[in-house]
Structure 1
Amino acid sequence: MPASEGLSIGALARRTGLAVSAIRYYEAQGLIAPWRNPGGQRRFQRADIRRLSFVMIAQQFGLSLPQIREVLAGLPQGRTPTPEDWARIGAGLRTHLDQRIETLVRLRDNLDGCIGCGCLSLPNCALYNPGDRANERGAGPRYLMGDRPEA
C-alpha cells in the first residue's frame, strides 16, 4: 500500500475512541498489523477500525485476547472484510454467547442462594452439600457453573 494511504495511529485513535497506547498494545498482541511509511510512522488500514471495534465488543462478551486473536486470524489481511466474513465470525461466536447468556441467567437466578459450594449459610450447606460433595466435581462455584446437587 502506498505511503500516502492508510490511517495514522492518531486518526485510528480518534475513529475508534481508543487511546494510542491501547492501539499499540493491540498491535503487540497481534490483533492488528500496521505497516510503516518511509518516515517510520505506523499506518493502518481502514479495516482496522472494524477490527478494533470488534475487539472492544468481543471483550464485553467475555472473550480473552487470545480468543479474539484466533477469531481475527480468520479475516483476510490484504482486503477489507466483507459482510460475509463478519457473518461467518458472528455465527462462530453464537455458541460462546449462548453459553455466556446461560451462565449469566443462572447467576442472576441463583445469586441469593448458591455462590461457592452450594449455599450461603452453614446450616444449608450441611443439607445441600454434606461433606463438601461439590468439591469432588472440581474447583469453583460448581452449582452456579451448572452442576446440580445430588438428590
Structure 2
Amino acid sequence: MPMLDPSNYDRDLTVGEVAKRSGVAVSTIHFYESKGLIKGWRSEGNQRRFSRDVLRRVAVIKVAQRLGISLASIAAAFEALPKDRSPTDKDWKRMSEVWREELDDRINKLTRLRDELDRCIGCGCLSIRECPLRNPWDELSEAGPGPRLLDPL
C-alpha cells in the first residue's frame, strides 16, 4: 500500500519507515529511543513499531540539534509533553523560548571568546601582561578548573 493512501494514516510505522520519512539513519532512531526521546514498541512479530507522532518528534529533535541544543535539553523539554501526541504549535513555542535563552547565552559566550581571541591572535605569544589567557603561577587554581577568564561562571 502506498504511504499516501489515507487508509494508511492510522497504521503504525516500522523503524525503517520512520528513518526514511524523517531522513535519519535507523541507528539514529534506535539511539533516540534509547535516550527516551521517542517511544516505540514491539509488534507480535517482535518488530519495532512507532506511531506517526514520532515523525514530528524526530523533526523537532533534528531542528533543535541543528541549533546546537543538547540532547539533555531536548529530553527535558519533551518530559513536559504528553506521551500520546505530537508536539503542537504551543508546545514548540514553549520549547523554543527555553532554547532561545540557551542560544542567547551561547552567542554571548562565543562573542566574548571571539573578541578575546582577536587580541591573542594579534599577539601570538600569550606572554603579554594584558593577555586574557595568562595565569602566572596558576593564580586562578583556587577558583576551579577550566578557562576561568574566558568562561566565568
TM-score by length of 2: 0.75
1:59 and 2:65 are equivalent in the alignment? yes
Q: Is the 8 A contact 1:114 1:144 kept in 2?
A: no
1:124 and 2:128 are equivalent in the alignment? yes
Of 51, 65, 68, which residue of structure 1 is paired with 2:74?
68
C-alpha distance in 1, partners of 2:38/2:64? 15
C-alpha distance in 2, partners of 1:136/1:77? 46
- The residue that corresponds to 1:32 in the other structure is 38
Letter paired with 1:123: S
SS where residue 76 of structure 1 aligns?
coil
- The residue that corresponds to 2:93 in the other structure is 87
C-alpha distance in 1, partners of 2:130/2:98? 42
Query: 81-90 or 105-114, which moves further after superposition?
Result: 105-114
SS where residue 123 of structure 1 aligns?
coil
Identity rate of aligned residues, in percent? 45
- The residue that corresponds to 1:100 in the other structure is 106
Q: Is the 8 A contact 1:36 1:43 kept in 2?
A: yes
C-alpha distance in 1, partners of 2:124/2:144? 19
C-alpha distance in 2, partners of 1:63/1:144? 21
| Over 6 Å off, 4+ runs | none
Of 49, 55, 66, which residue of structure 1 is paired with 2:55?
49
Give CA deviations for 1:76-129 in whole Å, capped at 9, x if unaligned: 1112221111111111222211111111212222223469xxx96353258764
Listed as ranges, the gaps of 5+ residues in structure 1 are none
C-alpha distance in 1, partners of 2:110/2:13? 39
